[in-house]
Each structure stands twice: as structure tokens, then as C-alpha cells.
Amino acid sequence: MKALMEDRSARAEVRNPVLALPAMHRLAELSEEESGAVIAVMLDLKADAAERAQECWRRHKGPMAAYWKAVSVYAGHTAKALRRLSALRAQSTGENDRG
């Protein structure tokens, strides 16, 4: 059972559920500049939402803190997924140039 859990948790789409979304494949088609802009927005959203979550938690607004924390986490997951797709695209482009 432990080996099964380790195998499951080693899969990228388990660690980052955003990778399993069908729309992520469409985002892979963005240019490097467009992808960078979306990543910047997601990182700004992550930081803003994390700050809002802290403020809500400080004011004892648990449900809103949980909401903003989830927004922050998913924005971070999206930014990481886009970075990963950009890196894979750059790697495959480099391989195509060489071969």
C-alpha cells in the first residue's frame, strides 16, 4: 500500500492538479511573452490572496481566510504549471534545433 501511495504522489498531476485540466494544454500554445504575462498575473494574484487570507485569519474570519488561501494556492499551482510547460516547450524546441 505504501508503494502505491508513493507512486501516486510522485505524479505531477497529483502534486499540481492544475496540470490535469484540459485548458492547460491550450495554455501551452501561448508564446513565451504571453506565458510570462499570465505567470506574472498569477504570481500577483497568489501574493494578494495570501495577504488577504492572513488578514481574514487575523480578524477571525475563518471561511474567508480559507477561500483566499485556496485562491492563493491555485494561483501558485497555475503559475508553476505554466513555467513547467514553458520549460518543456523550450527544451523540445532546443532538441528540434539540434536534431
- Residue pLDDT, tens place only, 4-51: 556 667 777 778 888 888 888 888 889 999 999 999 999 999 999 999
pLDDT over 60 (residue 1): no
Look up the pTM and report it.
Answer: 0.78
Beta carbons within 8 Å of 59's beta carbon, 6+ residues apart? none
Answer yes or no: are the C-beta atoms of 54 and 62 closer than 8 Å: no
Nearest residue to 43 (alpha-carbon basis) of 14, 9, 71, 3: 71
**What's the confidence (pLDDT) of residue 88?**
81
Pairwise pLDDT comparison (9 vs 87), residue with the higher score: 87
**What's the confidence (pLDDT) of residue 64?**
99
Q: What gap in Å lies between CA 82 and CA 3, rounded to an integer?
A: 29
Pairwise pLDDT comparison (2 vs 53), residue with the higher score: 53
- Residue pLDDT, tens place only, 45-56: 999 999 999 999
Q: What gap in Å lies between CA 12 and CA 22, rounded to an integer?
A: 15
Q: Is residue 59 classed as helix, strand or coil in its secondary structure?
A: coil
**What's the confidence (pLDDT) of residue 85?**
86
